[in-house]
C-alpha cells in the first residue's frame, strides 16, 4: 500500500476530565463523564514517508508503540517517519494516551486513505474503556458529556457537546513530582473501591442536566462551577482511599483551596491527577490569580498555567 499524500500533520488537544457521573452502574450503564478540550497544551505530529518506522520528539516511545500496533492491526507498511513537535505530558490527567493514539490513528488514516472514523480508530487503539471524553474532544472540542458504558458499548456515546464562552479561563496547578494512577494501577484501584451510592449518582445526573448544562448555555460560570465542584467533591471522596484524598497531591490541594477562597469556581482534579484545575470569568483575573499563586506557593514542585477552552476538535492537514 502506498501513501496518498506526502505529509500529514495532526494536532490533538489536551483535555480536562471533570469527573464521572455514575460509578454505581445501578441502571445498567457505568461511568458517564464530563470534560472540556483545552488550547495551549497539545500533541502535534507529522507523518512522512521513510524506509522504516522512525519516531522522533517527546514521548517517542509511546508514539512508536501506538504506531506499530495500529500498523499491525490494519496490515499497513511501517514505512513512515513520525516527528513530534509537542506531546501532552504523560499521566498527569490531561489525556495524553488517548490523544496520542487518536492522533497517530488519524494520521495513518489520512496517509493511507483508509476511510476510518475516529470511533473506529479509538476501538482499534483500545481507547474509551471507561471515559469517552478524550474521544469527544478529539472529534468536536468544547465541553462534552458521554453516556458511559452499557453491555454492548464499543465506545461511550457522546450525549452533549457545547461551546465554552471564549472569555472563561482555566487555571491549572501541576505537581512535577507525581503521576496519577494509570494502566494496571488504575484497573486495580477501580477494583478496590466500594460501590458508589446510587443516590449520589442520581443527584449528580440531575445537577448536571438541569443546572450545569443550562448554566453553560447561558454563560453563568458561577452556577456551572458550583456543580463541577460538587461533582468533583463527591467523586474525589469516593476515590480518596486509593489516591490519598480528594486530591492526589496535598500541595495541589492547598493551592486549590486558596483559589477557591479567592472566588475561583469549578474546583477539582482532572482524572487521577495530580493536576488540579479551576475556572474564572476573564483572562485578566486568571493572570492575576496565577501571579499571586506563584508568589504564595513557592515550592519548586508546583507549576501553574492559564489555558482557555478549545471549541473545536483535532486538526489534520495533508500536503
Q: pLDDT of 6-23, one tens digit each?
A: 999 999 999 999 999 998
Residue 263 CA to residue 289 CA, distance in Å, equals 10
**Of all helices (H) and strands (E), which one includes residue 219?**
none
Q: Which residue has the higher pLDDT, 182 or 302?
A: 302
CA 163 to chain centre: 16
Residue ranges of domains in the chain, CATH in brackets: 8-163+311-318 (3.30.230.10), 169-307 (3.30.70.890)
Phi, psi of 37 (to 5 degrees): -80, 150
CA nearest to 121, candidates 20, 5, 10, 42: 10
Residue 108 CA to residue 42 CA, distance in Å, equals 18
Pull the grid cell for residue 236: 474525589
pLDDT band, very low/low/confident/very high, at 1 (cuts 50, 70, 90) = confident
> Quick one: CA dihedral 229, 231, 235, 237, positive or negative?
positive
240 CB-side CA count, 13 A: 11
**For residue 181, pLDDT beyond 60:** no
> Quick one: CA dihedral 87, 89, 90, 96, positive or negative?
negative
Pull the grid cell for residue 188: 486495580
Name the β-bridge partners of 125.
Answer: none
CA distances from 199 to 22, 194, 203, 207, 211 (A): 10, 14, 6, 12, 17
∠ CA 155-159-315, nearest 5°, is 70
Lowest-pLDDT range of 9-13, 20-24, 82-86, 277-281: 20-24
Percent of the chain with pLDDT over 70: 96
> SS3 for 11?
strand
**Of all helices (H) and strands (E), which one includes residue 10?**
strand 8-22
CA nearest to 154, candidates 190, 110, 124, 191: 124
Phi, psi of 6 (to 5 degrees): -80, -30
**For residue 182, pLDDT beyond 60:** no
Q: Given the C-alpha cell 452502574, which residue does it identify?
A: 25
pLDDT at position 184 is 67
Amino acid at each position: 500500500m502506498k501513501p496518498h499524500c506526502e505529509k500529514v500533520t495532526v494536532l490533538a488537544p489536551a483535555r480536562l476530565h471533570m469527573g464521572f457521573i455514575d460509578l454505581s452502574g445501578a441502571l445498567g450503564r457505568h461511568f458517564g463523564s464530563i470534560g472540556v478540550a483545552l488550547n495551549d497544551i497539545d500533541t502535534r505530529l507529522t507523518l512522512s514517508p521513510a524506509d522504516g518506522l522512525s519516531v522522533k520528539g517527546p514521548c517517542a516511545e509511546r508514539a512508536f508503540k501506538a504506531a506499530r500496533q495500529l500498523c499491525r492491526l490494519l496490515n499497513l507498511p511501517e514505512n513512515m517517519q513520525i516527528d513530534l513537535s509537542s506531546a501532552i505530558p504523560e499521566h498527569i490527567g490531561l489525556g495524553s494516551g488517548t490523544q496520542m493514539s487518536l492522533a497517530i490513528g488519524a494520521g495513518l488514516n489520512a496517509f493511507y486513505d483508509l476511510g476510518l472514523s475516529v470511533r473506529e480508530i479509538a476501538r482499534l487503539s483500545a481507547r474509551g474503556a471507561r471515559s469517552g471524553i478524550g474521544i469527544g474532544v478529539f472529534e468536536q472540542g468544547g465541553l462534552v458529556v458521554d453516556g458511559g458504558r452499557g453491555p454492548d458499548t464499543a465506545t461511550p456515546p457522546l450525549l452533549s457537546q457545547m461551546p465554552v464562552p471564549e472569555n472563561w479561563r482555566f487555571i491549572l496547578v501541576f505537581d512535577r513530582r507525581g503521576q496519577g494512577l494509570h494502566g494496571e494501577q488504575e484497573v486495580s484501584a477501580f477494583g478496590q473501591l466500594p460501590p458508589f451510592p446510587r443516590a449520589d449518582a442520581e443527584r449528580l445526573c440531575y445537577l448536571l442536566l438541569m443546572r450545569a448544562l443550562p448554566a453553560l448555555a447561558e454563560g453563568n460560570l458561577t452556577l456551572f462551577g458550583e456543580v463541577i465542584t460538587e461533582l468533583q467533591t463527591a467523586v474525589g471522596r469516593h476515590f480518596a482511599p486509593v489516591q490519598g484524598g480528594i486530591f492526589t497531591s496535598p500541595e495541589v490541594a492547598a493551592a486549590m483551596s486558596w483559589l477557591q477562597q479567592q472566588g475561583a469556581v469549578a474546583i477539582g482534579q482532572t482524572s487521577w491527577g495530580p493536576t488540579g484545575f479551576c475556572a474564572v470569568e476573564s483572562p485578566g483575573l486568571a493572570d492575576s490569580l496565577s501571579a499571586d499563586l506563584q508568589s504564595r506557593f513557592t515550592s519548586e514542585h508546583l507549576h501553574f498555567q492559564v489555558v482557555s477552552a478549545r471549541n473545536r476538535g483535532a486538526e489534520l492537514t495533508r500536503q
